[in-house]
Amino acid sequence: MSVTDVIRGLLRDPVGLLAKRWNWKASLLSSLMRAGIFFAVNLRAGWEAATAAMLTQFVFRAVTSGYYAALTQAFRKAEPAWAAALTVTLALPALWLFLIVFLWTPPHFWALALMIKKAYAVAGVPMLPVVRGDRETARQILLYSLALVLFTVAVGYWLGPVYTVAAAVLGAILLVLSVLLHRDLSRRRAGALFHYSLAYLALLFVAAAVDPLIV
């Protein structure tokens, strides 16, 4: 089977093609790891929030990781040989991108939670601002933002110089907004951080994609 045949098969019947190669071992391992991490991260917000996050991530990874492994296997068996090499060389950068999203998620959603905390409180959803207060939420946002920026710059060794410069500049803006939110717990500051975090992640990934085309 050639690379073209694999692509055509995905276009005709993506679910059928991937279901035949669905990897339950990869799915189970990834699901357990991600569920455990999300449980630990959300434990500060209470047992209910941590359990809900754990179950959600377990189901999400059970589906996506299995199909990702199936997609990788489909291209590994394709001709020419460079298709298999491509999937292997993509493994490490893909891990870095996953960890970036993992570290980005808390400050992004906690900023949103600060904006609509009253709605969460009325609905009985134990988000961090509801159960721990605005000040603690802002502190956690700042800590996670710092960890995110340090990590994104560090992985520039693998993702390239253009990406590294972008990570430093974008990260500096993110940290400034996080510090401003920590000093001023207004809805306006939370909204600024939330909306910038969307652009931050998108531009960071664009930089990662463009870097090999320029350098």
- State whether 70 and 19 are in the same domain: yes
Which of 89, 113, 140 represents a domain boundary (last residue)?
89
At residue 88 the predicted structure's pLDDT band, cuts being 50, 70 and 90, is very low
pLDDT value at 163 more than 60: yes
- Among 89, 105, 136, which residue terminates a domain? 89
121, 212: one domain: yes
Arithmetic mean of pLDDT, 74-83: 54
Long-range contacts of 56-62 (CB under 8 A, 24+ apart): 57/31, 58/31, 58/32, 58/34, 59/31, 60/34, 61/27, 61/30, 61/31, 61/34, 61/35, 62/27, 62/28, 62/31
Residue with the larger pLDDT of the pair 215 and 97: 97
Same domain, residue pair 94 and 199? yes
Question: CB–CB of 177/193 below 8 Å?
Answer: yes
Are residues 103 and 127 part of one domain?
yes
Cα–Cα distance measured from residue 25 to residue 168, given in angstroms and rounded to the nearest whole number = 37
Residue 154 has a pLDDT of: 95
> Which residue type does 104 have?
W
Do 202 and 115 share a domain, yes or no? yes
Number of domains in the chain: 2
Q: Range with the lowest mean pLDDT among 36-40, 87-91, 152-156, 158-162?
A: 87-91
| Whether pTM exceeds 0.85 | no
Please identify, among 89, 123, 150, the residue that sits at the C-terminal boundary of a domain: 89
User: Do residue 106 and residue 156 come from a single domain?
Assistant: yes
The SS3 of residue 2 is strand
| Highest-pLDDT range among 6-20, 22-36, 79-93, 98-112 | 98-112
Range of the domain at 131: 90-215
Q: Which of 131, 108, 115, 139 lies closest to 49 in space, CA to CA?
A: 131
- Range from 6-10, 80-84, 208-212 carrying the lowest mean pLDDT: 80-84
Q: Which residue has the higher pLDDT, 112 or 63?
A: 112
- pLDDT higher than threshold 80 for residue 131: yes
Q: What is the mean pLDDT of residues 48-72?
A: 72
Same domain, 158 and 194: yes
| Residues contacting residue 185 through CB under 8 Å, at least 6 positions apart | 114, 134, 135, 138
Q: Are residues 57 and 146 in the same domain?
A: no
Distance from C-alpha of 147 to C-alpha of 150, rounded to nearest angstrom: 5
Shared domain check, 111 and 185: yes
